[in-house]
Chains A and B, each alone.
Chain A
Amino acid sequence: MEEDKFALVEKIIKDIHAVFSRIAELRSFDIVPVDTNFRNKSPVLYLENCLGLESWCIKHVYMYCYSEIMDRYCHKGRRKVFKVSSVNADRMIKLLNVTLLLNPDLSTLWNKRRMLVEKSMLDNYNELHFTRLVISRKPKCNDAFAYRRWLLDIIFADKSLQITSIRDIINEELNICTQASDRSPNNYHSWNHRMWFVNKLKTLENPLFDIYNQYIKEYNFSEQWTAKNVSDYSCFHYRQFCIRNHYLLNEESWKKFTTNLNLRKVLVKILAGNFPVDSTIQVSEENLLAYSESNLVNLLLYHTVKNCSCVLDNVYICRKLEIIFHELAVNNELIRFYKHHETLWYHRRFIVHEIIEIIYEHFCLTKSNGVLVRNTCKKCTYDEERQKQAKIVRYDTNCMYSSVLFNVMLTHEKKFIEEMRTNLDNYADRHEKYLKFVEGLHHVM
């Protein structure tokens, strides 16, 4: 009886191995629930590039493979360390494949694979295909993502990598992340992996590869994704990562990005709707649209007490504002449409925080331990100015609180909180508290 079972398991391992010869085409793996083996057929299913295994055999196959691997290849304390040779590597790979497919949360076995890759007994690209298969069943498998990162590090270390294969890798990697995020909501692992991957791309030295273009793609992708996954906090975190990358766009790619959409209009619309009343300037949307970047920033943050000679880049600040106010407008819409979603309000905190950071930076202030202090310029330092710190801070802070941008933001937030409060959204009160006590605006609100 036992012998029969082993023969059967060996047969199953062989069948799976046969399917693995086409690993590049395999799209997904899954366990198909079937209670008993009543048809006397192989439990290995292979249909439309998907591999399936009937559930009745899982227990036997897993126990068999796992114990053989552990006994023969991973036994600690044995005096003679087991040596991998090409003869037994084959057997080991077969067993590893099956065991990891069934239970991918075994770091020991992933390390065995790493060892085999280092001895070039496994191919890097085939390994990528294998992990894709694992992730298709367990989209939150951290070990598989970590293994992919390890493999990609090796692949990208090769400086002779062609631009076409780089593009293929990028497509594949982003696709896998998208799928994993789709399969399981709030998938920290897939979004984290995506973030790692974009950061990895920044270090690529291929002159044909345009990282800015990638930023734009990811920015647009994340905007669509967040609009459809309003309570997936992991994707909002990725969105924030994209926004910060977007600040770094160069002149050329910024032009390309803004050809189809007018971010300035969004910014100006919010500005015109919330302009402080006592202002002496004539404000209408048309008026504001005519301003140049530099003039607009001067209007919004009219006063600055720079105590060093560093030149402020108004174009850059204006661009940052456009990006962040666009985000604010999108967030308004989402909160109005999908009511009572905490994640959206948390994202709003991020947006408001970014705006306040921009203002602080402009007025050379930083917040430390909840108190505003004078920021020392990193590039040049004036010692004499530093001594008068305390007084200057109070003066600067007042300037900042009376700046147009600050007031616009505050009015806009107050209006929005009021509107949502009438919609019975409890998060509105919490947002107000956040502004007052975390951002420390209680004496101006």
Chain B
Amino acid sequence: MSPQTPPDVERVRYAVEDVVSHALDLVDRIVAAVQPVLAAQPAPRRSDLAVVEPVVAPVLADLDQPVQGAGFVAAVGLLEDARWWLEWFARDPDGRVQRLVTHSEPQAMGFYDYESLPWYLVPSTTGRPHVTGPYVDYVCTEEYTLTFSSPVMVGDRFLGVAGADIAVKSAEQRLLPALCAADRRLAVVNDDGRILSSNDGRHVCGDLLPDADARADAAHPVAGVPLSIVTLSD
């Protein structure tokens, strides 16, 4: 971003942007598919979300790209026939694309109120794309995950989020070559200062950045998402 960013840090930023764009490109396409349907339909139903599957299924089936789950999560109370609903698809361990089965009744076993979870809450309040994680996604994949999500709006009205999951290990695979080639100790961190990946064994994935390293002047932000690259002090 700034002209004085050193080239090795710049290469890490390219790698981060590449991972981010795999997820956000798909998220944008989900938004583009869902938004006009919801704009035209004052009382949408689950069946109106059938537009999601043809957008996400071919991407998820492509094992050369890192997104492993994606879909649309309806704003609570949006749909006529389900107060809570995830129109979500994910790759199973054999690489096949499966629909996620969820319960929409609050009393049911697998019911899952997503209203307070950051991947839903943050885009709904800021109106901007968000990256959640690294976090243990215990309600869905049970994996160590990054979730990218963007709000779907019609006018001022928030109608849900489009989202895409990338496993932390897939992100790491794509970041490590640039991190390892760097001339200094670097970490890719989120807005909480949580490390996504680094080239330093003392500051590993999942750790929070030590206060001494959390200086804003040492951070190189990644445009459009709450991620940045920081130089670790010795």
A and B: interacting chains:
no
B residues within 8 Å of A by Cβ?
none
